[in-house]
Amino acid sequence: MITSAELGTVVKALGQVATEKQLKGMVREVDVDGNGTIEFHEFLKMMSKKKTNPDQELHEAFKIFDRNNDGFISTPELKHVMLSLGEKLSDEEYEEMIKEADLDKDGKVSYKEFVAILTSQ
């Protein structure tokens, strides 16, 4: 789960600026269970809608995960970003997230797969 404070850190990393009030509003917008936090997939979907150029936003989000710039998101890369956002999961859960998005079953997520999983939800 991501809090408004953690969301602020990520928004800033994406080169955007948001006030605390705006961040809380962004959380409320997608906080289905009303606990003041958002799930990670909801965060990605929310961020892809916030920028005027959704393709650019998706590409920027992908680059955050693709730490070695090889064009793919691996399980260790996903884990690193998720941990930096405070999302502490088991190794099996990170692997399951990759498997869900890995449409061609090569063990990693390409940009095309990343976009497909985000735009299908």
Closest CA to 94 of 82, 111, 110: 82
Which residues contact residue 10 at a Cβ distance below 8 angstroms, ignoring those fewer than 6 apart?
Answer: 2, 43, 47, 85
Mean pLDDT of 8-29: 79
- The angle subtended at Cα 4 by Cα 16 and Cα 80, nearest 5°, is 75
For residue 50, the model assigns a pLDDT of 61
Residue 43 structural domain: 4-119
Instruction: Tell me the average pLDDT of the chain.
Output: 84
pLDDT at 15 over 60: yes
Give residue-wise pLDDT tens across range 31-88: 777 888 887 777 677 666 665 677 887 888 899 899 999 999 999 999 998 888 778 8
- Per the model's pLDDT, the better-predicted residue between 38 and 101 turns out to be 101
Residues paired with 82 in a beta bridge? none
pLDDT category at 90 given cuts 50, 70, 90 is very high
The total number of structural domains in the chain stands at 1
Longest dimension (CA), the chain: 42
What's the rounded Cα separation, in Å, for the pair 4 and 28? 9
Which CATH number do you get for residue 51? 1.10.238.10
- Tokens matching residue 84: 């930096």
Report yes or no on whether pTM surpasses 0.75.
Answer: no
